[in-house]
Chain A
Amino acid sequence: MGSVSEFFQHFLNGLTLGGIYALIALGYTMVYGILKFINFAHGDILMVGAYIGLFIFDFLRGDKPLSAWWFVAFMIAMLCSMVFCGLLGMFIEKVAYKPLRKATRLAPLLSAIGVSFVLSNLAAWLFGTQSRKLEYPFDNTPIVIGSGSNAVSITPHQILILVASALMMLILKLFVDKSRMGKAMRATSLDQDTAKLMGIKSDHVISLTFAIGSALAACGGMLIALDFKVYATMGTMVGLKAFVAAVVGGIGNISGAMLGGLLLGLLETFGVALLGIPQGYKDAIAFGVLILILLFKPDGLLGKNEKEKV
């Protein structure tokens, strides 16, 4: 216990877990930044993404033995499921949230809970309640680096997660910071009415935000589905934790969501591995950290402190 390699091992495990949290947290934080409400259905969109990805992947790989084609099929499946979920997110926004733009703050939240109920139960009804396995599209034997007591092992799955989540976050960050549409997005999140006056089509921006957030959720959903199985309520707990990550980082802040996600993943892994907190209390760590951070920094780590004016 306590050797450097062990530390690195846990660090690596925490980083992969955190990468997924960060990916999903981005969807929450983007929606919150613009519309100021918690999209409770985000976790269920993740589940839909995992199911769609599973079906397409199984269809494409057919009976062929494990080969490079599996990996290509997996990538195609992921792309399709991301597109599908992006459209689904836009559709949900149009139907369930758009009529509530001017309503009280509770209304869209409850509407989102309604959407979450519909999605998760529709999935349980259509696809059955038993969980399904998404096969690894590659040989998932761990790669061992180093030897003896200094060995650190990493599975190809972990590499995929790290690469995929880093890539997605980089693209998103560039898109939001550099592109014209990203600028419109930032303007809308700062002040929707003023943005409208400046000629920004805020409805388009909101649609796009939902599409991007949902696509990222689908990607995250497929990545976790490899480790945990695919079932109708798979998104609930991951969704909640990703939301915690978004709040910890400062909700509405894209870098904050990434930071919060990584931090949460690391804390969970280290809390269990080094501090000796029993495995069963793993979920409690996440929420305990959340409450602690909110107490000392009520706006999250990177959030802006907004003073309320009378």
Chain B
Amino acid sequence: MLSFFLLILIYTGIYSLMALGQNVITGYTGMLSLCQAGFFAIGSYVTAILCVKCGWGFFATIPVAALLSAMVGVLIGLPTLRLKGDYLAIATLGLGEIIRNVINNWDSLTNGPMGIQKIPKPSFFGIEINPYSKWGYLLMVAIFVLVFYLLLKRLADSRMGRALEAIREDEIAAGSMGINVTKYKVWAFAIGAACAGVAGSLQACFSLSVTPGTYTFMVSVIVLCMVVLGGMGNFKASIVGAFIIQLISYFPQLVGISNKFPAQFKQILFGLILIVMMIYRPQGIMGRSRRSFSKTGRSCPFKFLASKVRTVFKSSKEAGR
């Protein structure tokens, strides 16, 4: 039970990294991208191939995974990011499928549908981090998530973050203000891809094997759902979204009623939650309201509550006077 909960937390961490990247692309820059699974796969396969075939250490492969994912992101991003809205979604969806297709068929490098097994356990200055013991691995994943969270948070508060938000709000206006729209879009895409690449590395060495079946289109969709469920343009919310979705997907197993429910139950529930969520709370659980709505919009239930309490206090004070 505890160990199962740790497993959920580890998966939350791995998916959080992807969701953080997706948040940069979709939440901040407003580009609907559907190929996090592709970059996730690239990261995983880089780690798997370098570890198994070249005998590299796990930590040495992470920068390579991030860089290669980002490079593929840039290569594809430069031409496709000119596309708008749904067209971009479909082009990136196509890219994700191409990456999976290539991995599935490039037998000499990726071993095709069989995948790569026996990835060595990672070790950190001689201390082996055993994925089976979970605590150590969880700590490692948590550190990665924290580092990326802080980095991206700094990024979002910087000049670049504001440029990205300007692009999301109005591309033409941003361009006329002197923001190099293409440059920033490609940057955002590359950063998002790099996050997914690192997540892929962690996934590969957690499961100790990689197969192309893991990196389907569904992964991209789930990651997008995490971002939207949490609330777009909010990094904390992406992590919360990742946790909620992982919790929902493993809930029947966690409380030991998985044999009473069909295996498909969680996905049905997940779909229903998505529909209901979109109808009743499209800005997500911790959705950030835009500035123009801030007077009426309830950005966060707690903040809303706090402001209510404050007004009550204020009026009571005034009444006392």
Interface of A is mostly: helix
Determine the distance from Cα of A100 to Cα of B95 in the docked complex, in whole angstroms: 29
Number of A-B contacts (CB under 8 A): 132
Q: Inside 8 A of B87's CB, which chain A residues have their CB? A: 247, 294, 298
A110, B225: Cβ atoms under 8 Å? yes
A310, B105: Cβ atoms under 8 Å? no
- State the Cβ distance, B213 to closest chain A Cβ, in Å: 12
Report if A310-B98 is in contact (Cβ < 8 Å); known contacts: A122-B268, A125-B262. Answer: no
Taking a contact as CB atoms closer than 8 A, the residue among A38, A96, A281, A308 that contacts B101 in the complex is: A281
Taking a contact as CB atoms closer than 8 A, the residue among A37, A121, A283 that contacts B267 in the complex is: A121
Nearest A residue to B173 via CB reads A310
Residues 107-130 (chain A) with a chain B CB within 8 angstroms:
107-111, 113-118, 120-122, 124-125
A244, B279: Cβ atoms under 8 Å? no
A121, B264: Cβ atoms under 8 Å? yes
Determine the distance from Cα of A170 to Cα of B269 in the docked complex, in whole angstroms: 40
B274, A111: Cβ atoms under 8 Å? yes
Nearest B residue to A292 via CB reads B79
B80, A117: Cβ atoms under 8 Å? no
Q: Inside 8 A of A109's CB, which chain B residues have their CB? A: 32, 86, 89
B79, A295: Cβ atoms under 8 Å? yes
Taking a contact as CB atoms closer than 8 A, the residue among B76, B85, B90, B275 that contacts A105 in the complex is: B85
Q: Inside 8 A of A236's CB, which chain B residues have their CB? A: 217
Q: Inside 8 A of A95's CB, which chain B residues have their CB? A: 275
- State the Cβ distance, B260 to closest chain A Cβ, in Å: 13
B278, A291: Cβ atoms under 8 Å? no
Nearest A residue to B283 via CB reads A104
A278 at the interface (CB under 8 A from B): yes
B273 at the interface (CB under 8 A from A): yes
Instruction: For chain B, give the interface size range.
Output: 35 or more
As a 0/1 sequence over residues 85 to 97 of chain B, the CB contacts with chain A under 8 angstroms (1 = contact) are 1110111011101
Q: Inside 8 A of B305's CB, which chain A residues have their CB? A: none
A287 at the interface (CB under 8 A from B): yes
As a 0/1 sequence over residues 293 to 306 of chain A, the CB contacts with chain B under 8 angstroms (1 = contact) are 01100100000000
Residues 22-44 (chain B) with a chain A CB within 8 angstroms:
26, 32
Taking a contact as CB atoms closer than 8 A, the residue among B94, B105, B262, B282 that contacts A288 in the complex is: B94
- State the Cβ distance, A300 to closest chain B Cβ, in Å: 9
- State the Cβ distance, B185 to closest chain A Cβ, in Å: 15
Residues 33-70 (chain A) with a chain B CB within 8 angstroms:
36-38
Q: Inside 8 A of A120's CB, which chain B residues have their CB? A: 267
Report if A284-B80 is in contact (Cβ < 8 Å); known contacts: A110-B274, A290-B91, A291-B95. Answer: no
Residues 240-277 (chain B) with a chain A CB within 8 angstroms:
262-265, 267-268, 270-275
B273, A308: Cβ atoms under 8 Å? no
Report if A278-B105 is in contact (Cβ < 8 Å); known contacts: A121-B264, A290-B91. Answer: yes
B312 at the interface (CB under 8 A from A): no
A110, B271: Cβ atoms under 8 Å? no
B274, A113: Cβ atoms under 8 Å? yes
- State the Cβ distance, A217 to closest chain B Cβ, in Å: 18
The 3 closest A-B pairs by CB, nearest first: A117-B271, A287-B94, A114-B274
27 of the cross-chain contacts (CB-CB < 8 Å) are A95-B275, A96-B279, A104-B282, A105-B86, A106-B26, A108-B278, A110-B278, A117-B268, A117-B270, A118-B267, A118-B268, A118-B271, A120-B267, A121-B265, A121-B271, A244-B94, A278-B105, A280-B105, A281-B102, A283-B97, A287-B93, A287-B95, A287-B97, A288-B98, A294-B90, A308-B172, A310-B172
